[in-house]
A and B are shown apart, each in its own frame.
Chain A
Amino acid sequence: MNYVRDVGALVRKDLLLELRARDTLPAMLLFVAAVFVIFHFALPGTPSRLETTGFLWVAILFTALLGLGRAFVPEREQRTFDGLVLAPCDRSAIWLAKSLATLAFLVAAEVVALPLYALFFHPLRGATVAAVLLADLGICGVGTFLGAMAVVTRARDLLLPLLFLPLAMPIVVGAVGASVSASPGRYLGFLALYDLLFAVVCWASFEYVVAE
């Protein structure tokens, strides 16, 4: 139960910080809206449902990257990372808490982004919304893990997209498949499997990312 308390404390800290600073979430919302407008101009002719679904997922992925890039910035600027690592809690709690906080921001951004997409382009299927939720879990879990790796390097913001995009490929396949296929169950199952597999791998190996 200590573990759950630790995770809860860290999540509350991140959400409080964001509520006070109010920089990441508005940026993500504006970004997603601007990207949709760009898509309209980038897709010549009348794009079909297939094409715009693909672009929805590109928008979600890059908005998530924006949020993930900011995830460990408070720790880096205030130099609280060492404090977190020295605290008597399981190191993986840091990863889990940060993932949950980022997930909250991403879902909040999508609450606006998905209706906006339905307004601009095409109405959404139930399977697409389910895919969004499942994909968010994978994106936040893996992205937070890689963000923690990237934040200790010199390249930082440059590195996170490079590390993240190859790993995000299966998420895109599962998500787009669920959005356009006649039988989305297979793709949703694949997404769930990906989330589970990488959650376990991230949870088990976060210890080594923050170790000295």
Chain B
Amino acid sequence: MGRLRSIPLPALAVSSLVLVTTALAFVFFVAPNDANQGFSQRIFYFHVSLAFTAYACFIGGAWNAFRYLWKRDPRADLESYVWVHQGLIFGAMVLLTGSIWAKVSWGRWWVWSEDELVLFLVLYLFYCAYFMLRFSVDPGPQRANLSAVYALFGVVLIPVSFAAIRLAKEFLHPRVFTLHGPNFGGWILVTYCVAQAAMLVLAYTLYRLELGGKRLDARLRDLRELVA
């Protein structure tokens, strides 16, 4: 973790740019056409990598929340918050790309039969409430405590919600299509890996950017208080 922190932000930004561009190139030019859905299936590369990245962000938020509660590391609260924020941004992208994919595949902008989308909707609402909670408490140890506990609840909710959504299938909608295509080898796998790496590096770059900005704000506030 310490070594990750020492990577300078400009280097991260450049790698993000390179990886995302490469991923786009792979998705549009290298990956073969899907047998069933043709060209429009390609959004799947971004949708799945975004989903995985968003989960990683929420888990990162929960990990830092746990570190805050356990080790009382004062910096962990801000790190947890920024991870949750990134998770929400990427989660919004998951919902957006999922919606586009649903429209292209099944002609409707929203399908309740798609587990991933429903789970993300629930998580999205949960973490939006995290923001409402965080910003209706004044900054301080109490806000950090409440945010940390709530972020941990979110991570416990992920598997429980997933199980609930699968259980609900029996009496809600029959399972018609699956998200993942039939074959996952060859260039499809390579393209997916590039897209996934691009999304993860992008998330980490944005995280470091936001964290740096917020830490600077906090230092500025402290300095102003000292001078005043």
Contact = CB atoms under 8 A, between A and B. Distances in A.
Q: Do A and B come from one complex?
A: yes
Nearest to B130: A163
B136 A166 contact: no
Contacts of B125: 162, 165-166
B132 A170 contact: no
Interface in A163-195: 163, 165-167, 169-170, 173-174, 176-177, 180-181, 186-187, 190, 194
A209 interface: yes
A46 to B, nearest CB: 20
Nearest to A163: B129
Contact of A197 (B123, B156, B168): B156
A70 B31 CA distance: 57
B149 A209 contact: yes
A79 interface: no
B164 A181 contact: no
B133 A159 contact: yes
Contacts, number: 89
A174 B150 CA distance: 23
Contacts of A211: 141-142, 145
B187 interface: no
B143 to A, nearest CB: 9
A173 B132 contact: no
A177 B170 contact: yes
Contacts of A163: 129, 133, 150
A20 interface: no
Given A201-B153, A208-B149, A153 B133 contact: yes
A162 B132 contact: yes
A106 B136 CA distance: 28
Nearest to B168: A173
A38 interface: no
A153 B129 CA distance: 13
Contact of B157 (A150, A153, A166, A209): A166
Interface in A84-101: none
B167 interface: yes
A81 to B, nearest CB: 12
A149 B146 contact: yes
Nearest to B152: A205
Contacts of A180: 171
A198 interface: yes
Contacts of A194: 160
A167 B137 contact: no
* A interface: dominant SS: helix
A180 B164 CA distance: 15
A177 B168 contact: yes
A53 to B, nearest CB: 10
**Residue of A154, A163, A174, A212 contacting most chain B CB atoms (<10 Å):** A163
B122 A201 contact: no
Contact of A209 (B145, B156, B171): B145
A152 interface: yes
B55 to A, nearest CB: 16
A155 interface: yes
Interface in B68-109: 69
**Residue of A159, A190, A208 contacting most chain B CB atoms (<10 Å):** A208
B165 interface: yes
Nearest to B126: A166
Interface of A: 50, 149-150, 152-155, 158-159, 162-163, 165-167, 169-170, 173-174, 176-177, 180-181, 186-187, 190, 194, 197-198, 201, 205, 208-209, 211-212
23 contacts: A149-B133, A149-B149, A154-B137, A155-B132, A162-B125, A162-B129, A163-B150, A165-B125, A166-B123, A166-B157, A167-B126, A169-B161, A170-B164, A173-B168, A174-B164, A174-B167, A176-B171, A180-B171, A194-B160, A197-B160, A198-B156, A201-B156, A209-B149
